[in-house]
Structure 1
Amino acid sequence: MATEIKAPVFPESVADGTIATWHKQPGEAVSRDEVICDIETDKVVLEVVAPADGTIVTIIKGEGDTVLSAEVIAQFEEGVVSGAAATEAVQGEAKVEQAAANTQAGAAPVVERAQQVQDQAPAVRKALTETGIAAADVAGTGRGGRITKEDVSNHQTKPAIPAAAPLSVAVGERIEKRVPMTRLRKRVAERLLAATQETAMLTTFNEVNMKPIMEMRAQYKDAFEKRHGARLGFMSFFVKAATEALKRYPAVNASIDGDDIVYHGYYDIGVAVSSERGLVVPVLRNTDRMNYAEVENGIRDFAYKARDGKLGIEDMTGGTFTITNGGTFGSLLSTPILNTPQTAILGMHKIQERPMAVNGQVEILPMMYLALSYDHRLIDGKEAVGFLVTIKELLEEPAKLILDL
């Protein structure tokens, strides 16, 4: 008897989702808890798993279709392998056995290629067979390095560059490729555009001498890692300094809701993380109660989740302030865009050695530019500058930060 496979129950902040990828097709045998489908929402990608060992009977919502919370997306039959799947399995085994028998005349490569094709999803297997492309030659961009139909198509369109042979693309030919925006990328674009159009955004800049923190980190990083099991990075200092500055300037930790100002009595700091699907901002909760090791472990876990596509909606809901670090990509100076409805965002940048005047003498110091973008409707220039200067002072004298001075 067929049972229904439904989309997950979305949180209130997520209206609907889009079927991103079907990893299994009708007639294919699946195992319990095996991922069969990805649903992309405005914030995260949700995985749908098989409820038991069995077979997908019918796909109701195809790739690219919009789905609502708990909507039926497929029919599933438990404990049954369809005739098509059984036939396909027998044929696959027969092909491998035949290839193994033909050990003379290069049978081993044939077995390997057959197995590589057999390991792919049905649509991908068909594309590989029709094009004659070896699975090992295609770079997979799907989850876990899986090959998608688009990967096969892209591999076909790449100009071949054989040794000592002319390029296959005519001289002067200009190639274009058009692909639809992912749902997450589209949502990020909408939010960034809204932030520039619906807020009175302004940015103030300053610079911080990173030498004291770098010296402290060099002195204690091994002991810190041994004690806490976490690397001592720079981000924990910035999160703690920002938290202290937010206590002193409550407006920077506030948000605008219609005609009201909402002052938050807690400190939830989002840390912008770049992922393959786009920019995401997971949130560290109650940073005023966290120690440096907890901050570092939290950021590390978010980075792993973002890499593996495992960030949940609960990881990115809320947040009263955001920190983004363009310095990891080499940015020396930039203007971060507000993460609405928050009213401020701090931008970190690359540490660059520069000649600085210190007590009438020129010294070479590791300097970092800081940028604070803020909503001028709520935060005045005096508060914004004071907030950024507070962060600068706490970072340049980390003892004040640690001793709560």
Structure 2
Amino acid sequence: MTEVKVPTLGESITEATLGEWLKKPGEPVKADEPIASLETDKVSVEVPSPVAGVMGQQLFAVGDTVNVDAVIATIEAGDGAAAAPAPTPAAAPAPAPAASPAPAPSGDAGPAALSPSVRRAVLEHGVDPSSIQGTGRDGRITKDDVVAAASAKPTAPASAPAPAAAPAPASTGGDRAEERVRMTRVRQTIAKRLKDAQNTAALLTTFNDVDMTAVIEARTKYKDLFEKKHGVRLGFMGFFVKAACQALKDIPSVNARIDGEEIVYHDYADISVAVSAPQGLVVPVIRDADQMSVAQVEKTIGDFGKRAKDGSLKMDEMKGGTFTISNGGVFGSLMSTPIINPPQSAVLGLHRIEDRPVVRDGQVVVRPMMYLALSYDHRLIDGREAVTFLVALKNAIEDPTRLLIDL
């Protein structure tokens, strides 16, 4: 018998939440194969098996808090061919362990086969998990898979008998269901950090808009050649990251932070980019983005997005950052007031592109426009500096040649 312990989770992190069992008792396990996932303050971490054998006892239940170096399971000798022995009382807290590492659509479809966030999404959208092809690690179903399946689900015909079968709740009013779900460690940390930011910083947001015509034309003209040469699609984020880096050089206070009674200025730009993940929004960091090409930025963001979905982002990739860009436009947001990511002092919010009438050379024309929002800590950044930063970024996007000649 071999004990499986919680691995070291990173600097200053001493505990995590057991998010999901990836193996059932009695199933064969390969050496280094993930058997469980843990949720830390920043990302999900998979716990690998130290040896090959058979999954034995599971000593904690999903949702339990586990400390670093705690024994959470055992691996027994064997190949898994025989039925697993009944779990001992120590393993009793683990209710219905998760699915095997490759939950194909025809595999386990019950709630126990899914992580808590995915189960909630299944209930909210009313989809059948057995019909969903998972895109997560080892084929596991993610929250994004559920949302995509719900979007593709055909609307039920008006004659469907199911809705008419349960009139009782409408007449009695006593069958209104509620569900209490413990906040994940990631969500708890997000809530605490954002509230701390509101309580500590003097938050203010300034707005501008940008004509996306030039960037859209450049993207349309070069996207095929770009993808053929660099192996990645040419998106808008590459332009905005490079434009932000250039504006940060001109307005260094936007790239600075407050440390006690001192201001720390950075002569580099580590850009945090908000990426959607099954457990919530995560913010990995593009290191030395000011030294990268547009292609390198796009490759880095694409890699972050892929690994955020399968839960393989590393904690070191979430640390640091001198400035944040959050693109709410991918979800349809028209305008927002983003909250800074402490200890940073500013965050840029991007929004959806829509055709709007604007005046050009005395004529009303229709152009693809986007609202920009810069939230900043007014203790460090003056309004003049915030507006100047947004104008510099706007000018660079509306005339991308400025990015080439550093104007």
Q: Scaled by the length of structure 2, what TM-score is found?
A: 0.80
Segment drifting more, 6-15 vs 26-35: 26-35
Q: Is the 8 A contact 1:19 1:63 kept in 2?
A: yes
- Tell me the residue number matched to 1:279: 281
Q: How far off its partner does 1:243 sit?
A: 0.3
> Which residue of structure 1 aligns with residue 166 of structure 2?
168
Query: 1:30 — aligned with what?
Result: 29
Deviations 1:65-108 (A, max 9, x none): 22222332222234465964289xxxxxxxxxxxxxxxxxxxxx
Aligned equivalents of 1:32, 1:295: Cα separation in 2: 35
Q: Is the 8 Å Cα contact of residues 221 and 232 (structure 1) preserved in structure 2?
A: yes
Indicate the residue corresponding to 2:203 in structure 1. Answer: 201
| Greater mean deviation of Cα atoms: 334-343 or 55-64 | 55-64
Which secondary structure does the structure 1 equivalent of 2:195 belong to? helix
Q: Deviations over 1:197-239 (max 9, x none)?
A: 1110000001111111111111111111111111111110000
Cα deviations by residue, 1:19-47 (Å, 9 ceiling, x for unpaired): 11122344443233332111110111101
State the SS of the aligned residue for 2:299: helix
Rounded to whole Å, the distance in 1 between the matches of 2:23 and 2:244 is: 46
DSSP 3-state at the match of 1:85: coil
Give the whole-Å Cα distance in 1 for the aligned partners of 2:192 and 2:111. Answer: 35
Change (3 A) 1:7 1:391: same
1:65 aligns with 64
Please provide the CA RMSD for this pair. Answer: 3.0
Question: Matched residue of 2:7: which SS?
Answer: coil
Indicate the residue corresponding to 1:304 in structure 2: 306
Long gaps (5+) in structure 1: 88-114, 126-133, 152-160
Displacement, 1:185? 1.2
Distance 1:27 1:264, change over 3 A: same
Contact 1:212–1:398 at 8 Å: present in 2 too?
A: yes
Residue 212 of structure 1 aligns to a residue whose secondary structure is helix
1:264/1:15 Cα in 2 relative to 1: closer, same or farther (>3 Å)? farther
Distance 1:195 1:399 in 2: 36
Tell me, yes or no, if structure 1 residue 242 matches structure 2 residue 249. Answer: no
* Counterparts in 2 of 1:339 and 1:299: CA distance versus 1, 3 Å: same
Task: Work out the number of aligned pairs and report it.
Answer: 357
1:55, distance to aligned residue in structure 2 (A): 2.2
- Does structure 1 residue 366 correspond to structure 2 residue 368? yes
Query: In structure 2, do the counterparts of structure 1 residues 232 and 359 end up closer, same or farther at CA, with 3 Å as the change threshold?
Result: same
Quote how far apart the aligned CAs of 1:146 are: 5.5
In structure 2, what is the equivalent of residue 317 of structure 1? Answer: 319
Displacement after TM superposition at 1:262 (Å) = 1.4
Q: Is the 8 A contact 1:29 1:85 kept in 2?
A: no
Contact 1:203 / 1:372 at 8 angstroms: preserved in 2?
A: yes
Residue in structure 1 matching 2:225, options 223, 226, 243:
223
Note if 1:261 corresponds to 2:263: yes
User: Compared with structure 1, are the counterparts of its residues 85 and 374 closer, same or farther at alpha carbon in structure 2 (3 Å cutoff)?
Assistant: same
> Is 1:52–1:79's contact at 8 Å kept on the other side of the alignment?
no
Q: Secondary structure at the match of 1:264?
A: coil
Structure 2 counterpart of 1:183, from 182, 185, 191: 185
Whole-angstrom distance in 1 between the partners of 2:129 and 2:338: 41
Change (3 A) 1:371 1:46: same
**Aligned AA (1:164):** P
Classify 1:31/1:245 alpha carbon distance in 2 versus 1 (closer, same or farther; 3 Å).
same
CA contact under 8 A between 1:116 and 1:135: conserved in structure 2?
A: no
Counterpart amino acid of 1:186?
A: Q
Secondary structure class of the residue paired with 1:32: coil
Tell which structure's C-alpha radius of gyration is larger.
1
Name structure 2 gaps, 5 residues minimum.
87-104, 115-127, 147-157
**In the TM superposition, what is the alpha-carbon distance from 1:141 to its structure 2 partner?**
11
8 Å CA contact 2:257–2:263 kept in 1: the answer is yes
Q: Distance in 2 between matches of 1:290 and 1:73?
A: 42
Candidates 346, 349, 352, aligned match of 1:350: 352
